[in-house]
Amino acid sequence: VRVAINGYGVIGRRLADAVAAQTDMELAGVVKVRADYKARLAVEKGYPLYAADEKSRTALKALGVSPRGVADDLISDVDIVVDACPDEVGAANKATYQRLGRRAIFQGGEEHDVAGFSFVAQCNYEAARGRQFVRVVSCNTTALCRVLHSLDGQFGLRRAGVVIARRAADPDETGKGPIDAISLDPVTIPSHHAHDVNTVLPQLKIVTMAIKVPTTHMHLHSLLLSLATPTSEAAVLEALEHTPRLLLITGREGFKSTASVIDYAREKKRSRNDVYEAVVWRDSVRADDSEAYLFLGVHQEAIVVPENVDAIRALCSQVAAAESMRLTNQTLGIAR
Ligand SMILES: NC(=O)c1ccc[n+]([C@@H]2O[C@H](COP(=O)([O-])OP(=O)(O)OC[C@H]3O[C@@H](n4cnc5c(N)ncnc54)[C@H](OP(=O)(O)O)[C@@H]3O)[C@@H](O)[C@H]2O)c1
C-alpha cells in the first residue's frame, strides 16, 4: 500500500517512521510547509519530500533540500493519504482528496463529520472497511475507548465519569501555557471528550471534565465507573490484563508520576520515548460492588500511531483486525 503523510509535525513524523517499518506498506512521501531542520532530517532519513505548495517548494529549495514536487503530485500517486496537518487544516484538505479520488485518514483535531467515521482499532476496525475516509480519534479519546470498551464488554458500564488533567503543550510548543496555573479547560462540564468518545462508542453514558496542567509529557485521567455487574478488583484487573494496547504498571515499583512512565519508555529504547499503550496504574484500581476507580495515563504524542497504521490496513487491504494489530504491535514493540 503506497502511503502519503501530509503534515510532518508531532504526529506526522511518527507516522512516517511507523509506515516505513511495515512490510506491507511503502512510504511514498511526506509533505512539509516550512523550510526547517525537520525537512532536512526527512531527506536524511531517505523519505521523499514534497512541498505543500509552490511557495513552500521555493523555500525548501533555498534550504538546499529540493522537494520532488508539490502535495498534489504525491497525492495523485498513492493509495491513501494520512493527513497529519494542524486542527481544521485536514478538513480544508478533504476537497483535494475528493478531487484526486484518494482515500484519507484524518486526525482527532478534525470533527467527526469530516470523515463520518471515527476509528479505534479494537472497537471498530471491521466497520471501517470499504470507506474512503476515517478519522483516528484524539489521544484522550483513544485511551478512553480502549479501556471503556473493554470494561463495558466485561461488566456493562452504567456510567463513566472522567476527570482529565491535560498536558498544556507538546515539548517543542514553547509559546503555549499555562506556566504557573491550572486552567479549567473548559470551565463548563462536560468537556468535548465525552461527545468524542460517543463518536466511537455511541451507547456509552459518559461525563468528562478537563483541566490543563503545566507539563508537556502525558495526560492523566481519573476514572470513576458505575458497573451493571457487581465485581471485584481482581476481576477488573483481569479484564485490563486482556485489553489490547494497555500497559499495567505499579506505584510500588516506583511509577509515581507520568515522568516515570516516560523514563520507562526511554529505558526500553522506544523511538522518541513513545508510549503507544494506554497506561493503567495497577495499584490504583479499586472496585467496590458496582463502582470501580482507576488512574489512566496517556502519552499524547504516541498513542494514536498504531491506530493510524491499522486504519490504513482497514481501508486498503483485506487484513483482519487481529492480524493488523499483531503486525503493527510487532513493528512498534507493543507487547499485546
Ligand atoms: N500533538 C498531539 O499530541 C496530538 C495527539 C493526537 C492527535 N493530534 C492531532 O494530530 C493532528 C496533527 O497535530 P500535530 O500535533 O502533529 O501538529 P503539528 O506538530 O503542528 O504538525 C502539523 C504539520 O502539518 C504541517 N502543515 C501545516 N499546514 C499544512 C498544510 N496546509 N499542508 C500540509 N502540511 C501542513 C506543518 O508543517 P511545517 O512543519 O512545515 O510547519 C506540520 O508539519 C491534529 O489534528 C491534532 O489534533 C495531535
Regarding the beta carbon of 85 and ligand 1, being less than 6 Å apart is answered: yes
**Using the 8-state DSSP alphabet, how is residue 185 labeled?**
S
- Set of cell numbers at residue 187: 470551565
Residue 200: band (very low, low, confident or very high) from pLDDT cuts 50, 70, 90: very high
Q: Which whole number is the average pLDDT over 239-249?
A: 98
- Ligand 1, atom 34, residue with closest C-alpha: 7
Is there a catalytic annotation at residue 139?
yes
Residue 155's pLDDT is 97
Share of the chain above pLDDT 70, in %: 100
Helix (H, G, I), strand (E, B) or coil at 169: coil
With a CB cutoff of 8 Å and minimum separation 6, the contacts of 310 are 121, 125, 321, 324, 325, 328
With a CB cutoff of 8 Å and minimum separation 6, the contacts of 136 are 105, 106, 107, 108, 118, 119, 120, 142, 304, 307, 308, 311
Regarding the beta carbon of 301 and ligand 1, being less than 6 Å apart is answered: yes
Whether 97 and 75 have beta carbons less than 8 Å apart is answered as: yes
Residues 90-122: tens digit of each pLDDT: 999 999 999 999 999 999 999 999 999 999 999
Q: Which whole number is the average pLDDT over 282-308?
A: 97
Share of the chain above pLDDT 90, in %: 99
Regarding the beta carbon of 12 and ligand 1, being less than 6 Å apart is answered: yes
Residue 93's pLDDT is 98
- Give the whole-angstrom CA distance, residue 335 versus residue 330: 8
Residues 115-130: tens digit of each pLDDT: 999 999 999 999 999 9
Whether 266 and 331 have beta carbons less than 8 Å apart is answered as: no
Residue 177's pLDDT is 94
Residue 45: band (very low, low, confident or very high) from pLDDT cuts 50, 70, 90: very high
Regarding the beta carbon of 141 and ligand 1, being less than 6 Å apart is answered: no
The rounded mean pLDDT for the chain is 98
Residue 332: band (very low, low, confident or very high) from pLDDT cuts 50, 70, 90: very high
* 64 half-sphere exposure, CB direction, 13 A CA radius: 4
Query: In terms of Cα–Cα distance, which of 179, 87, 194, 104 is closest to 141?
Result: 194
Residue 244 CA: distances (Å) to CA of 36, 149, 328, 334: 37, 11, 12, 9
85, 123, 139, 316: the active-site residue:
139
Query: In terms of Cα–Cα distance, which of 154, 121, 132 is closest to 80?
Result: 132
Residues 268-292: tens digit of each pLDDT: 999 999 999 999 999 999 999 999 9
Residue 315's pLDDT is 98
- Ligand 1, atom 15, residue with closest C-alpha: 10
Residue 226: band (very low, low, confident or very high) from pLDDT cuts 50, 70, 90: very high
